[in-house]
Structure 1
């Protein structure tokens, strides 16, 4: 793509001639022919790394007026835009041939349930014999083939390149998680959506968003008309607000009136679930899930409505759902013990409450919970998470999550303050070492109890002072359980 064509597309003149064959915003990743996106940041300006990018083969630079003042850009072909991040997605899409024009993209946003809903979508698409792609927190897959991933929603150049690879590999439909960060930072700009779906909203990411209203408005931008179809779960007030302002939105509910309803939900002794989905045309579709929890009934109903919107029959989709398991989401760890052992990603107050409320009916004994909070993130949710767990567990062990650059003891103290203030709190312990905390929970458990290790889910590292140490909750819990046999 020539630079003048790219400039015309975003409404700025091209400062020089160049033919662009790729796009990146990381100078160290530049390949010959790339456009380097030198974006302003909170700590540094991308243009400070322009010399590295040009030396690596960048043929042009997209930046803002401030970026042009760097000496390294003298004589380099430029696209200068006042808000380059806003146009980066459109530029990347053009360079990669507008790949989502050839794909049906089903985007899922919300605080909880994005990962599970995306996996259900992938399974439903596969059941309909479509070639599916998956983009999300746990991983990226192309027709079942796993690719490495770092962000829930990749940066715009990486995302468009990934879409292009998927299109080349014959993918027809893509299930993807869309985070509020991605929407705010323009990562999905230039992406055509067949379906936009909303699961729910509860407190999270208030280190990034000003307040819950700002968080909601970020999510709502996915429903600004960029998607052909909108599917909204109206089980919470945020969903009802979003549906009311989204013309043509297809509503989903497990609790009240909606276009798609989930009724007669039942849980088996092994935690599996069944329910009946009532479709808008009156059809009754039986659905079975390996995934426990009322919130997963809602996730499955949202997935059914999304798949129906792109022509997948609900009965076919439901067949695909039956075998879905999601790493780190209500993941059972079995080592022959006489109690339930679960690893889950719940890392916000609402998710912790929903997780433990879902497990309570399955547990005849005590709930024993191991939980921490991440550093350098929304501090306001720490006491709320402590309180949510303490109100539902017979024993809560507060431990470290990913402290990052913060003092782990200070994070634990904020959680403990919330837990201790909860009038319904059970026993409380504080064990900073996460491995020791998991071992203590297992040692405390008796037949009929449940040990729940929450917060990190599928993650395989623990970040402390800029260093990521290997740590896998599922593996650590399995090792601890082996000592009980």
Structure 2
């Protein structure tokens, strides 16, 4: 589209090159990363906490950007104002008081408003977003729809897998992604929607057929001022941008979102959708009956263990029903779901259960270990660390939650990033050791994560459950700015093979089972 039309749509003023500009070049794409600019792009030069995007304008303009969206502080930067393309009047400068807020609608317009051509099912909350979106995708596929998926673990376009850098991509990337999905015949897109994405406008310009809420507990307080600020960010998904709203009311936070017309789900109280007759099996599978509007009743089977997954499944059912997915497809689809790194079992024939899970916040750790305790015949052994450069307040809380629920807690490193790993472990140990000795199991410290996993496996007995928590599906460990290859799944399997001996040395009979879901970019 031409820049004058774009400026009018987003409420920006054009400082130079009115209309399409002297060269007549239309805007054909958008990005906020100068190194990703292609000819014809709008470059969004946004203010940051340390640098301003306009300081990289020369790179963008040299690559062929035909327009720049920025604020007043950006438009006077030398890299932008003194560039030959700008001084010659060949580039349109769009000035907006809040360019980040304008970027989502701008990108949506440039890419043809793809969300209006798709049925997007958005899921937000602290825990459960990943699992819920996998449940949604499976039921949609069972019904015969061509699906996309946007989330923490991966992005998929009609079955083709892409790695995910963020839980929810930046606005231009998201709109381009949705446009590609339209081109590939996708009709339905389950999407994880993080609090960062809502607060930073990444999903501005996106229309949701259904918005769903899982739960809320402490996380991301390195980004949000407090829990209320965190909640207010999540609540933005329910500000009218979602045609239907489905909310789990098992927590006070969920109940705050209920208004006339809200579809509610609950495992503990009255709601539009409820669950009864829950039956758990030793394999970790479970069954329950979902009761819905108009006397609707579905007998559901899940491969995923734990009460939290009943709540995730109920939310998925409510979203799918609101999106007019047939009930037979809901029943079939949810029964077939595995989720990478979420209560993912690694079975090589050992006489105890070994699982990997992404839980990396107090509420998620508590939920996962409660589920493990309910299933374990013996002890629960936990390997757990906390990430660096993130919410420091949750570290003692995670240590406490794990210590109270385990027979053996091995405190180790996660992704220390730029922090001293010993300081992170000390905060976790302080929380664990604050639990009275009579109310907790053994607590030890092993800084090397590989050694911690090996020790957990070595000390497991028949009937125990070993839970390696925190990193889930991740395949790297960031230490001092360097990401080293590291997979909890591979390390756990290697430790099991060493214990079992040469019979399983080639790993040929490794069996992996997947379950529980979590969520945001950490």
Q: Please give the TM-score of this superposition, normalised by the length of structure 2.
A: 0.92
> For 2:71 and 2:4, how far apart are their aligned partners in 1?
17
> For 2:327 and 2:403, how far apart are their aligned partners in 1?
39
> For 1:120 and 1:465, how far apart are their aligned partners in 2?
36
Residue of 365, 374, 391 corresponding to 1:378: 391
Residue of 361, 365, 368 corresponding to 1:355: 368
Residue of 55, 58, 78 corresponding to 2:62: 55
Question: How much is the aligned-residue C-alpha RMSD, in angstroms?
Answer: 0.8
What is residue 68 of structure 1 aligned with on the other side? Answer: 75
Residue of 414, 423, 441 corresponding to 2:427: 414
What is residue 293 of structure 1 aligned with on the other side? Answer: 306
Q: Which aligned pairs between 1:25-174 and structure 2 lie closer than 5 A?
A: 25-74=32-81, 75=86, 76-174=91-189
What is residue 13 of structure 1 aligned with on the other side? Answer: 13
Query: Structure 1 residue runs of 4+, over 3 Å off?
Result: none
What is residue 344 of structure 1 aligned with on the other side? Answer: 357
The answer for unaligned runs of 5 or more in structure 2 is 501-522
Q: Which aligned pairs between 1:332-481 and structure 2 lie closer than 5 A?
A: 332-423=345-436, 424-481=439-496
Contact 2:55 2:80 in 1 (8 A): no
Residue of 198, 205, 214 corresponding to 1:199: 214
> For 2:456 and 2:150, how far apart are their aligned partners in 1?
34
Compute the displacement of 1:291 (Å).
0.5
Structure with more contact order per residue of length (Cα contacts < 8 Å, sep ≥ 6): 2
> For 1:12 and 1:86, how far apart are their aligned partners in 2?
11
> For 2:331 and 2:57, how far apart are their aligned partners in 1?
51
Correspondence 1:309 to 2:322: yes
Instruction: After superposition, give the CA deviation of every residue in 1:150-194 in whole Å (9 maximum; x if it has no partner).
Output: 000000000000000000100001000000000000000000100
SS class of match (1:483): helix
What is residue 262 of structure 2 aligned with on the other side? Answer: 249
Instruction: After superposition, give the CA deviation of every residue in 1:408-441 in whole Å (9 maximum; x if it has no partner).
Output: 0000000000000012121011000000000000
What is residue 517 of structure 2 aligned with on the other side? Answer: none
SS class of match (2:257): helix
The answer for unaligned runs of 5 or more in structure 1 is none
Residue of 250, 266, 277 corresponding to 1:264: 277
Compute the displacement of 1:284 (Å).
1.1
Compute the displacement of 1:3 (Å).
0.5
SS class of match (1:302): helix
Residue of 341, 352, 359 corresponding to 1:328: 341
Instruction: After superposition, give the CA deviation of every residue in 1:33-68 in whole Å (9 maximum; x if it has no partner).
Output: 111000000010000000011111111100000001
> For 1:183 and 1:99, how far apart are their aligned partners in 2?
18
Contact 2:413 2:421 in 1 (8 A): yes
SS class of match (1:376): coil
SS class of match (2:287): strand
